[in-house]
A and B are shown apart, each in its own frame.
Chain A
Amino acid sequence: MKILVVEDEPKVAGALKEGLESEGYEVTLAATGEEGFFHASSQAFDLVILDIMLPGRDGIEVLQTLRRQGARLPVLLLTAKDAVEDRVLGLDAGADDYLVKPFAFVELSARIRALLRRNKVDSDSALRVGDLEIDPVRRTVTRDGHRIEITAREFELLEYLARNHNRVVSREMLARDVWKETTRATPLDNVIDVHVARLRRKIDDPFTSKILHTVRGVGFTLSEGEL
């Protein structure tokens, strides 16, 4: 999978390249709108990550030109502006998704997976992480054969973590996807931490091997091995 990253801030660009390469993508960097446009129109990419504020031609212009030329590859916009009208502008120009800076890398990687339609899971099939088993239809959880009683909210949380198992999930992703919170200003971090702690009490505490880990400063992950 080839990804083009158009970003003028070298530190951010470097971090994105490193992070995405560690996830198995092939990354090409471009620092200006012109350069990005040149790469995008001369090579085949599977996805473009496009910063809006670029020197010279800005991201919106590049995107519009690409779309006018018939490029249909998915484009993810990065921007520091998050007013509604800015989002609308970006989506109108033909962006497939929109991420506001500063963003968590885990979130970017989740969005990229969604755009590339990789890891498309059958939402009805049972999920399994080690000896933990989740049945999305009957909404039951068992670990090592023992049935575990959890609340509806805890189930949604666990299901989300299981679908992203072995990957770190940020609190922002949980707030948006599990709690369906639309604004970032709502103080949900404590609420999420409490729910995770309770879930841990139920699925981890009675067992010797721990699978629900906190990654300090980033979020949580459901994974068999130790980090």
Chain B
Amino acid sequence: MRRLLAPNLRTRLTVFYSLLLVGALLLYAACVSVFFLHNLREEVDASIDRDLETVEGNLFIGSSGQIELNSHEGEADEDEPDRGYFLEVWDQEGSLLYRTGQLEGQALGQVPGSESARSHREAISSRLPSGMRVRMMTRPHHMPGGKSVFVRLAVSERPLWREFWEMVTVLGVGLPLIVIPIFVTGYFVASKALSPVDAMARRAAHITAEQLHERLEIRNPDDELGQLGTAFNATLARLENSFEQLRRFTADASHELRTPLTAIRSVGEVSLQKGGDNTYYRDIIGSMLEETNRLTRLVDSLLTMSRADAGRITLQMTAVSLLDLATEAASLLEVLAEEKEQTLHVEGTGLTLVNADRTILRQALVNLIDNAVKFSPMKGDIQIRVFEEGTEVVLEVRDSGPGISPEHQRKIFERFYRIDKARTRSEGGAGLGLSIAQWAVSVHRGTIEVKSEPGTGSIFRIRLPRLAATKSAAPPSSI
């Protein structure tokens, strides 16, 4: 229905305001008309009053005892019934003493006296049997001879109504004359005001995934359309950013997949060309399978990430002691540290709980500790601490590795980012560990940060909102 009435916003707005205007003008016209009619009637009443005075002065009792008039001037005549007045004179007993001839026997009203005394002084409107509308007034009058009579005088209301309807016609014709130009002007003003919307829509329609760098032109950033445009541009910026990330991710992932594929291909080709005994081929196939395993692991990580990006991982939240989780992760990787004769210490308070998905959070801890072991030298030292800070629980992994320079620090959480590409790839990493850790922490509404100076090792800190402290005391554990 609304669509039918107004197909677009500018029409809808203009129609709405025009209807409001018409309503207001109609109300105004009605008030003016009523007031005008009232005034006209008062004028008529005043003239009736004057005429009554004159008529009363002209009344006398004739020789035959009949009421007579000195002058008939002013009485309505045949030619112009609307101009003059009609007169009736009644006596106290209700017998008609005089009636204007022009009335042709029609009574102006009931017998006077049956009405209340008050109404005698007031003018009333009525309709004669002939259909003529009249205004009349009835007044008691004392004749010079002492006789009391009622004098009733009426005039036609036709001139009054004619004037009234003329007035109404003027108003009725004037209304569209006012409203139509306003409607047209309003429509154009609205079109002009909304024209940026058209421009924005056209522009937006042309923006595709390939041209996300384009922005809408904003004429006035402070008005409503400007705000809309600004918000739209901000959305575009975010979209462009995530598209860019996606593009980079795809490119990086392809590169990462290329490395094991190249290995498989060249190992296979070379061995076929060269040929060899059974042991040789077993070795070659084994080498190819190793690369296949690397591919499998990489694809698993990529799937985890894409599922995380899509928000398709549902968390199984429970109250988890961060220290217990750290101890568990550390004991899992303990052998790796032992092989490098490193010390791996876990300490802190086991009372603090966080609300977490155990598996996912553990993944983050395992990745951090794995890195710490990987980058700390032989006989190095790795410290894991869990402590409270305000409303947060902090888990800190401190290694004794080579440290990370500031320009790398900003990027190490990015996917596939490796400081020393050759080194870590040989150890089986694809540069996803820290970004998986970062994702795992962020879904727990936590943060992860790194503090490091080249030469002094690195400190990774995970901050998570603290859940609550349990009552049972657990001794600080270390392994």
Contact = CB atoms under 8 A, between A and B. Distances in A.
Contacts of A43: none
B288 interface: yes
Interface stretch (A12-20, A89-97, A187-195): A187-195
Given A82-B303, A187-B370, A217-B285, A102 B292 contact: yes
Contact of B301 (A83, A182, A185, A190): A185
Max chain B Cβ within 10 angstroms of own Cβ: one of A83, A171, A187: A187
A190 B289 contact: no
A216 B359 contact: no
Interface in A86-133: 102
A190 B428 contact: yes
Contacts of A183: 304, 359, 363
A184 B300 contact: yes
A208 interface: no
Contact of A102 (B296, B314, B335): B296
Nearest to B338: A194
A218 B303 CA distance: 23
B290 interface: yes
Interface string A153-186: 0000000000000000001000000010011111
Interface string B251-285: 00000000000000000000000000000001101
Task: Classify the secondary structure of B's interface with A.
Answer: helix
Contacts of A82: 303
Contact of B359 (A179, A182, A188, A198): A182
A215 interface: yes
A187 B367 contact: yes
Nearest to A215: B286
Given A184-B300, A190-B336, A194-B339, A216 B283 contact: yes
Chain A interface size band reads 20 to 34
A218 B297 CA distance: 14
A208 to B, nearest CB: 21
B287 interface: yes
Given A83-B312, A187-B367, A217 B288 contact: yes
Interface residues of B, number: 34
B333 interface: yes
Nearest to A192: B335
B300 to A, nearest CB: 5
Contacts of B332: 179, 188, 191
B436 interface: yes
A182 B312 CA distance: 18
Given A185-B363, A187-B433, A189-B428, A216 B289 contact: yes
Say what secondary structure dominates the interface of chain A. Answer: loop
Nearest to B299: A102
Contact of A185 (B304, B335, B428): B304
B307 interface: yes
Contacts of B335: 191, 194-195, 198
A102 B295 CA distance: 10
B293 interface: yes
A170 to B, nearest CB: 9
B366 interface: yes
Nearest to A216: B286
A217 B287 contact: yes
Nearest to A153: B335
Contacts of B303: 82
A194 B433 CA distance: 20
A191 B282 contact: no
Given A190-B336, A191-B335, A194-B336, A218 B436 contact: no
Nearest to A102: B296
Contact of A217 (B292, B312, B339): B292
A218 B289 contact: yes
A1 interface: no
Nearest to B334: A191
Contacts of B359: 182-183
Given A186-B366, A187-B366, A187-B370, A217 B286 contact: yes
Contacts of B363: 183, 185-186
Interface of B: 282-283, 285-290, 292-293, 296-297, 299-301, 303-304, 307, 312, 314, 332-333, 335-336, 338-339, 359, 363, 366-367, 370, 428, 433, 436
Interface of A: 82-84, 102, 171, 179, 182-191, 194-195, 198, 215-218
What 6 pairs between A and B have smallest CB-CB spacing?
A217-B289, A216-B286, A217-B286, A194-B335, A217-B290, A184-B300
30 contacts: A82-B303, A102-B292, A171-B293, A182-B359, A183-B363, A184-B300, A185-B297, A185-B300, A185-B304, A185-B436, A186-B363, A186-B366, A187-B297, A187-B366, A187-B370, A189-B297, A189-B428, A191-B332, A191-B333, A191-B335, A194-B338, A216-B283, A216-B286, A216-B287, A216-B290, A217-B288, A217-B289, A217-B290, A217-B293, A218-B286
